[in-house]
Structure 1
Amino acid sequence: SLSKDGKTLYFSSDMPGTLGGADIWKVAITGDNTYGTPENLGAKINTEGRENFPFITDDNKLYFSSDSRQGFGGLDVFVADLEKGSEVKNVGKPINSEKDDFAFTFHKDQNIGFYSSNRGGQDDIFMAIPVCGVQLNTTVKNAKTGAILSGAAVAILDERNNMIETKTTGTDGLAKYGTECDKAYTLQVSKDGFVSKTIAVAKSKGGELPMTVELDPIDVIITETEVILNDIFFEYNKSNITKEGAFELDKLVQVMKNSPSMVIMVKSHTDNRGTDKFNMNLSDRRAKATVQYVISKGIAKDRISGKGYG
């Protein structure tokens, strides 16, 4: 495989100096039909097994197949970014299978790849069209101390606020999601003893997107007279608790569980559309729905009441 500038040839060989059955080598092209000394790409690329079918892209990514690296079976396709000196990565499914997958080529301008595989019983040529993805890496910290927070729940929602998945941060405080390009997402981050937070994730064109979310200790939302929450909104002419409203009310539930003597009065208001009577009834229904939600989370009914104020 020839580099874009035409100065380097990548090839596979079992010549003396090979680490295993066959290795990936490169050689400088010094003139018409003249070459430098072949150079083994070393243990970062090669193993004691077989490394074959090198292909170098225009942006200096080296694809090759190996039967000795951790994979799905037989020959698998791997990639290393020679520009960045990054570690070798298995390109994963659906390119690789339990059979032999090899001779992968990728053409950046056309955004298309081709490779061979015997997954169907004989060697066939397959076409591969990449799906744009974003690796969303979210680290959760204590806003007061800066300490990493393990055991935090990180939920990801789509553009319609439908829950996709919830992950829990490990000892590194990290939760990772594979998301799609050009789509906006929302993160809901929570942990016992801390104020939950909602974070908007803007559309991205691909690659890795690191994010740090800092959670305040729960006591910052408690004053002498109030538990301070973000506004809780309802759908037009409805009193049911929305997903966003529930996420906010869970902060109140946590505070009340941590403060057994606390008693709460919920006050609900509407906007100015509709008659006074209609709005009084609607706001009262919303207040009572809020109370019922909190009670449903294990808070005694004599500790919370609600009233609508139109």
Structure 2
Amino acid sequence: MKRFLGMLTLVGFICSAELSYGQVEKADQEFEQLSYFSALELYKKAFEQTKTVPILQKIVECCKRTNRYKEWESWAAKLIAADNKNPDNYLTYGDALMRNGKYTDAKQAYYLYGRYSNGKLFESQFLQASCDSALNQMNSPITTATVKTLDVLSTPYSDWGLTKYRNGFVFSSDRPWEQKTIDKNEKKLYGWTGRPFLKIFYVESDPEKNSWGTPTLFSDFFNGEYHTAGAAFNERQNTVFFTRTRFVNTPETGTKPVLRLEIFMSEAWKEAKPFKYNSILKYSVGDPAVTSDGTRLYFVSDMQGGYGGTDIYYCDMGADGEWGPFKNAGPGINTKGDERFPTLMGDNVMFFSSNGRIGMGGLDIYRATQEKGEWKNVLRMDYPINSPQDDFSLVVTKISGVPENADKIKLEGFFSSDRFDSKGADDIYQFTCVMPQFQKEYYYKGRTMNKETGLPITNVTITVTDLSSKVSTTFKSNDKGDYEVPLKPNRQYEIVMKKNNYFASKQMFNTGDKLRMDMLQSDLTFDPIVLDRSIRLNNIYYDFNKSTITAESQAELDNLVGVMKENPEIIVELGAHTDSRGDAAVNLALSQKRAQAVVDYVVGKGIPATRITGKGYGKTKPLVMCEGGNECSEAEHALNRRTEFKVTRVRTDMAAATK
């Protein structure tokens, strides 16, 4: 009887072993096909039957790749208990602890990783420093930053990468959608996550009013069979760049597929074209970001020759419309780790995510500025914008100065994260924060040109006045008409440009509200001063048959006052004209009264009476002849009924001109 029971036990053990072996074999197949979601469940069932270290290692890896942070930590702890001699087990356990915000325990795990491994001391110390830095941030969070979930777009699925487009935003999501290209019963799921593939969605929105519409699929035309995500637009929004994925078998991987990324672009919503440097059998390219004019494209790739796992690259479009050679963005921005998800604010400020710097865990968001073609000045965004989990795809929608501190700037916008308070795998978050200025000095530059001829004007005097300090500085444009004026951030300036025989140009400029750096570039045109050339004043109205100036006319007359103050050397005649209807003598007298009324208004605004005279012309100088058999329409009568000014003399004695 005992021998019989022993046989039953042996048979049961063999059946259990065969069942476990079959599950592991199937799980390995799923793992090799990148289906980590289903592989994880199979490995768990196999581990119930056969508790081996190799199965534990695969469970930990599946949890890691599917971002199941709490399960990752739990299974990694079991792996340490089962095999406490393998230094890599301490590394993955430390990573899991860090993703769960347990920095003290993570630091200990990283210490043991360095102790038990050969040649990994620097990496161990680097990871421990990240734990110390993260602890400091979480214990002393910056009070100038606020973060909240954008609930209207949050689902149990992955929602990320909000990007401005027309009257709303586009974003990427693996939420279910109404497929039109295949049968509803054949909807494909992504084996890696167990959810649908990513698609690009559009939602109308006015964030200032907290108004959001219902998301819809952006375009069946752009969205592909597998992942389609990460849209980027040029400023005119007539060209879109985005990333698609494909599973491919390469000569190196054989029957084991790899997931590769490619960039596609569409101009004027024509058929999407592949990016010139796609090379799906060799490497991935993705995460596009484009400059405002669409002539420089930044992208991420894991091609050989970089600084780490994935680096940020760029290429420029030539005059022939073709992309030129690509270049690595350099060691100022790329590390031994992964750099991902670049976004541009203007053309000289980049936000990106990296796991290759001292951070809080996973991908952290950083900011860099470009100076003379080189990316540098990398600054980490602090907690609570960065978290122990992945933080990425930050976009700025509003920038403003900080009145009490000119060296700071306030940003508002959105970013994406899979932190623990998210409703799904990834969520979109709104943020505000105050951080150091992107640069200590702006340069307002351009070219001064004749408005009529388009030719450059040289040696223009440029007077810049800081309105807070009342300090003025004078510059001149060069012999090509080019100018470059340094300005401080968070300042209100008055900029006056003058040249003999040209009307002066004045503008107010605020360096605290510039979202794009290239907005500081402007070509300025100047109207030449031509003696006795009449210049019409628009929107000058009088009460019927009277010389009283209406309130609607005052804004235009204030412009005339401004011109005379900016050009104190000019002597002006103000001319008033009537239409051709009515008695000539009556019209002449009425027009003289109207001209004098304008003169009185201008003098009342502080212009010396010696600089302006008024003359009524009645109907003696019509623009359109309405007499002698010609009948005029009301529109033509309105053209004749006008108020004009002309420069009759330019004084060279500026001291006398102001009297």
Give TM-score, length-normalised by structure 1. Answer: 0.45
Q: Which has the higher helix share?
A: 2
Give TM-score, length-normalised by structure 2. Answer: 0.25
